[in-house]
Chains A and B, each alone.
Chain A
């Protein structure tokens, strides 16, 4: 036997892990130290009255939610890009955005009715936000379940069928969204528009509920991660290389639907992260999923965390006014130019 060659597939994982963890730690420190008020981390830790401590708790909820949602959206995008072999796939490709929005909008349109009031009471202590989140989550799971069932009924869950069924259902759900908006009064319309902009508004039970759902989704996805390189070739080749293709595909779709449903429920639709973070990480660490998975998760968490922190703090610091910017604007503003510059540099 010849001496083992230095294989590119043996590129070390440690620089990716260390770099990603350092980036995330820096982003967390920024998120805890900066905000709309001039209270930094040291002030908060030393604070004698409870105000600084409450601010720190508020920031901590934001930081943890943004990190978990960012990691989940980026991972979901990476999983769908590998599964569908489509660089343009994102977490919302299989009709998730339309289904989630429809679910949330149905709840918003019911909020002033008797049914809405009793639903909100039933979901106490999570209240209105909890009811909307439950609507969005149910919308996502129903849509993805329907996409999967349609693709299966059309003769096997083929990639193209899945994509077409997802895009079609997204259109149908979007039509429902437009209909609900057209019938809504101005106050309801305003709430729907605000929900569509995405953002974090932490309430008591959001973080534990999100963490539990993410844990369930991740547990379903974890065994499939080692198949991703082979699965990104084509279905038959993946089968020839020992991957149980149908089972793996079902696991990825179910686990991702739970994770993205939780993201949509807690933060509304935040685009861009799931599309661009996996591509940026591919350019930086290569397409090997052993390195790409941690890079994407840590990169997505860091980007959304920084974007959310800026979205909270910028209006006060730049405009001298209260309120928050939509976090999606910041993720695109931060990540877009970085990705484009990387793309130009790599192709030069």
Chain B
């Protein structure tokens, strides 16, 4: 038998734990071995980050509030909160007796210290602008009237304040202990309240998350990043395996217990012994962006013709092996704001598309569609779309770039069309914000859309906000700054012997509640 550093021991230890627990004798270390595609960017939440790093950080730190599975906001370190009638004062009551990883108990002073650190420009928190009045309401003060109360005062009303506090890319605005930094304020490591602590981090090899034995779990049921967080393993080892064929082989060999799989591998993995395949429709939006300032594509009729030339159902069926559903909106179907209105779309109608092209006087000018070959079916979507566009008489040309080069084009806005994907936005306004605005990277710059978006950012009344979101969707369909293909389905292969893993729409893996059956 290999040692604890290998996957083989890890897997056998899952079984071993079951065997030994009944006898009350030796208890082997239980380790969940997970295939992970990327190294950690760093340990500083909301600062050293990318999507995968955020997932790891969210196991180590917690904030006052958190996203639930349905993308609503629920309390986490806060017991509850109240909002004043004018919408400008948020009062959080903290939970009592919540320990940090160093054993000290969390108080409002820690919340204030963490907030002040995040807001200091030298911290380089990526979400600072959401709370300074630049991209969100200004937080004018944070007060701590007693050890279990924190009061945030805002300069203006906001519908996104709590959501921004809970964002993964903001590190959940984590409440940290002062020992997270040295005497000069330099970052050391996160001393948080999360259910895991960092263990070994070996770049290019693995990241270890260790169970925090004294974790104070909430009593309400597990619900996304909210609710109870019961850790059922001693350690989660994230094995850095960027190559899908290698991670698949490692899974089949028994060295990995859980891995994310591409739709193309579904049929094979379904036949793997002792394996369950789990899936979830996420908020990752797969789309074809259109540069509305391009001389040819600025004509709305040509963009509408494109939308009607593309059969998104067929594209989605192919790229998801028939498991996903197409939808036209930037808003994910898992959002509580996604209603019948968000299904409204220009139907697939190549004849109508041809008529619109004639009406617009399109005479076969080439339209370049950028794509790349990274995972996520960017290339496949573009290839199928190109064929459909050609069928309708649109001279679409495919240009395959390396991802960094395509991203350059995206940021500068110097392209005609591109196959693109957006990471999950859990607030409905943010689903439109990612494409709406005057920056060169945003494709929808109509003043009416921007004005509607501004409203969606501040109106918190659910009914009123729903009306604004529906109107944004209607305009989006009419103006066609992008052609939504659908929201990506993520698939996981996991051993039958493991229980409790629940993929969810935020596209984040959660390792609490996961353990041997």
A interacts with B: no
